[in-house]
Amino acid sequence: MLTRPQAGEGPAQQLSFVAAIALVRTLDRWVAPGRLTLKWPNDLLLDGVKVAGILLEGIAGATIIGFGVNLAGHPDASERPATSLPAAGVVAPGTAAVAEHLAVTFAVVRAAWRETGFAPVRAEWLTRASGLGDRLEARLGAESVTGTFTGIAADGALLLTRDDASVRAIHAGEVFAL
């Protein structure tokens, strides 16, 4: 999906949350309630295992959003476990049906973000957050930070409360459950 900034929208990095909400709402049409969760910053989990991912790339004043959804199969030899809808017992819809519904849902979520700001998107994302309240490790290049996932900041950063009660905002990195 190619997007260009529109009046009233927040920073482009918030589009990852808009995209995640659109994707989870889309797959909610085919997956039973409670099975889908969101992993910061860009994964969708089905029964705790990655079933989809979202990538954003900024180029020439636009943002390209890529959605990868395992509708038919999934990689077996990946670094992190993955699944697909059929492997999880879900009758997979066709690619066109998902793409059409996702495009409409993304437009709805994006319009709401533009009109009401990031707070409602953030709040909905947190209702589906995987690992909220759990201990995590954030890998930030050569640095590794551990703590409890306590929320998402107003700018979308993951909030990690460390053992000394300090809070570290993680803006980019890989996050793993401990």
Q: How confident is the model at residue 43 (pLDDT cuts 50, 70, 90)?
A: very high
CATH T-level topology, domain 135-177: SH3 type barrels. (2.30.30)
**What token pair was written down for 26?**
């889309």
The hierarchical CATH code for the domain 2-127 is 3.30.930.10
Domain layout of the chain by residue ranges: 2-127, 135-177
Q: How confident is the model at residue 46 (pLDDT cuts 50, 70, 90)?
A: very high
What pTM was computed for the model? 0.94
- 8 Å CB contact between 113 and 9: yes
What 42-48 contacts at long range (C-beta under 8 Å, 24+ apart), as own/partner pairs, is 42/16, 44/20, 44/69, 45/130, 46/83, 46/85, 46/88, 46/90, 47/83, 47/88, 48/130
Residue 76, phi then psi, degrees to nearest 5: -90, -35
Report the pLDDT value the prediction gives residue 15, as an integer from 0 to 100: 95
Rounded to the nearest 10 degrees, how much is the dihedral formed by the CA atoms of 93, 18, 7, 108? 40
Report the pLDDT value the prediction gives residue 40, as an integer from 0 to 100: 94
